[in-house]
Amino acid sequence: MRLLLIKNPGSRAGRGKRLWDLWEAGLRGAGAAYRGVETTHVGHARQLAQAADDVDVVVAVGGDGTVNEVLDGLIQSGDPTRAMGVLYSGTSPDFCRFHRIPTDPEQALRALLSGHVRGVDVVRIAHGTGDGEQTVSHFGCSCSLGMGAAVARMANRSRWLLGDTLGTAQAVVRAVLAHRTHSIDFALDGDKLTLTQVNHVFVVKNPFIASGLKLDLEIAPDDGRLYFVGIHGFGRAQLLRSLPRFYDGTITSTENVIVRECSRVGASCSRPVGLEFDGDPRGCLPIDVALLPKALKLIGSDHG
């Protein structure tokens, strides 16, 4: 098994690098054939994963941003034979939690070396870039419209100081206080739906959103399910009162929240609406989202 370790030196504000020696010593001790490359800029992990045609497993060594880039690069490569592994050194392990990939460093290494591979679903998203162009990406967790981009932007700036949970919580409160609603046209598996006074929308493959936020949904990594969750008609005070429901998952059973199982979601709006997926701001509407069943070979995952 030949491995490429794509290592993000900025993970956990640089503290993630402390684990590199442990993991590489473990790989050498196991006689694994590997090489490591450090990323130098946003998008570099995606480029490295897409071009890694001489290995069997591409390993994301970093946080959820690195995980997303490696996943996207592997799917963009069009090569179904290569698997993805994760040695997690970030702050909000939503991808690992959902796929039951250990975040304990030694357990994570054992899971990687196990060779246990499963096919898991990923999601393709075509979206606006903000300059009138469209691009195509992929994600493994969720995307959100409305407050999500602002929350991700503010949380990413403050997590290093406040920690993951508190950094995200303060970003959510600030985004609620500043947010404005939108009227958005959706297509859910081709069925038209227009929502006015939209506060927030999730398109979800993973019920763990970020830093303890979650949605109460029956969903598994390889079940071919995608969910649309639309929140509309809430005032700021009602949103603030509802915040605990985002932490226990029960926001999905609240009035003015629409939950639909689907495999494809389109969305457009006459005004600019920001987009976030897998923890980072990514552009804007319009979007076309489609489920790709078992499109990724994931190593170390246990969801049987």
Residues 176 and 253 in one domain: yes
Residues 218 and 276 in one domain: yes
Query: Within a domain: residue 212?
Result: yes
Residue 147 has pLDDT above 80, yes or no: no
For the stretch 253-290, pLDDT in tens is: 999 999 999 999 999 999 889 899 988 888 899 999 99
The answer to whether residue 133 sits within a structural domain is yes
Quote the domain boundaries for residue 130. 123-293
Q: What is the pLDDT of residues 14-37, one digit of tens each?
A: 778 999 999 999 999 999 999 999
Same domain, 256 and 272: yes
Asked whether residue 154 is assigned to any structural domain, the reply reads yes
CB burial readout 79-101, b (16+ within 10 A) else e: eeebbbbbbbbbbbbbbbbbbeb
Is 302 inside a domain boundary?
Answer: no
Residue 151's pLDDT band (boundaries 50, 70, 90)? low
Strands 280-299 and 182-188: unpaired
The 10s digit of each residue's pLDDT in 44-95 is 999 999 999 999 999 999 998 999 999 999 999 999 999 999 999 988 899 9
Instruction: Answer whether residue 73 is part of any domain.
Output: yes
Whether 298 is in a domain gets the answer no
Total count of domains within the chain:
2
Q: Is residue 301 in some structural domain?
A: no
Of the three residues 68, 84, 115, the one that is the final residue of a domain is 115
Contact 267, 185 (CB under 8 A): yes
Taken in order 243, 247, 248, 254, the sign of the CA dihedral is: positive
Domain's final residue, options 67, 92, 115: 115
26 and 138 in a single domain? The answer is: no
Does 207 score more than 60 pLDDT?
Answer: yes
* Residues 111 and 127 both lie in one domain: no
Does residue 241 sit in the same domain as residue 278?
yes
Same domain? For 277 and 203 the reply is yes
> Are residues 183 and 159 part of one domain?
yes
**What is the average per-residue pLDDT within 125-143?**
94
State which of 92, 115, 138 marks the end of a domain: 115
**Residue 184 belongs to a domain with what CATH number?**
2.60.200.40
Asked if residue 109 and residue 81 are part of one domain, the reply reads yes
Amino acid 132: pLDDT: 84
Task: Quote the pLDDT of residue 148.
Answer: 64
Could you tell me if 153 and 195 lie in one domain? yes
Query: Which of 177, 179, 190, 166 is closest to 290 using CA atoms?
Result: 190
Residues 167 and 284 reside in one and the same domain: yes
Note if the pTM is more than 0.95. no
In-domain check, residue 83? yes
CATH number at residue 57: 3.40.50.10330
Judge if 147 and 262 occupy the same domain: yes
